[in-house]
Amino acid sequence: MSKVLLISTGGTITMVRDKASEALIPADMETFKAYMPELFAGDVHVDIQAFSPLLDSSNVTPECWVKMGQMIYDHYDAYDGFVVLHGTDTMSYSASALSFMLENLSKPVVFTGSQLPVGVLRSDAKENLLTAIEIAAAKDEDGNAIVPEVTIYFEDRLFRANRTTKRNAEHFSAFNSYNYPALAKAGVHITYQPHLVHYSDPQAPLRLHTQFDQNVAILKLFPGIQRSVVRAVLRTRGLKGVVLETFGAGNAPSDKWLYRELKAAVEKGIIIVNKTQCNTGSVEMGLYAVSLNLMKAGVLSGYDITTEALLTKMMLLLGETPDDTTIVRRLLGKDLCGEITIDK
For 20, other C-beta atoms within 10 Å of its C-beta total 6
Annotation says 14 is catalytic: no
Residues 114 and 42: beta-carbon distance below 8 Å? no
Name the residue among 286, 8, 293 with its Cα closest to residue 132.
8
Cis check for the bond before 202: say yes or no (omega within 30 of 0). no
Strand order in the sheet with 216-220: 216-220, 241-246, 271-276, 300-301
Compute the distance between CA of residue 108 and CA of residue 138 in angstroms, rounded to an integer: 9
Comparing CA positions, the residue from 258, 135, 123 lying closest to residue 189 is 135
Q: 138 Cβ partners below 8 Å, 6+ apart?
A: 81, 108, 145, 146, 147, 190, 192
* Of 145, 134, 141, nearest in space to 4 by CA: 134
- Among the listed residues 12, 14, 112, 307, the single catalytic one is 12
The answer to whether residues 239 and 270 touch, using CB atoms and an 8 Å cutoff, is yes
CB distance 162 to 100 below 8 Å: yes
So which residues are the catalytic ones? 12
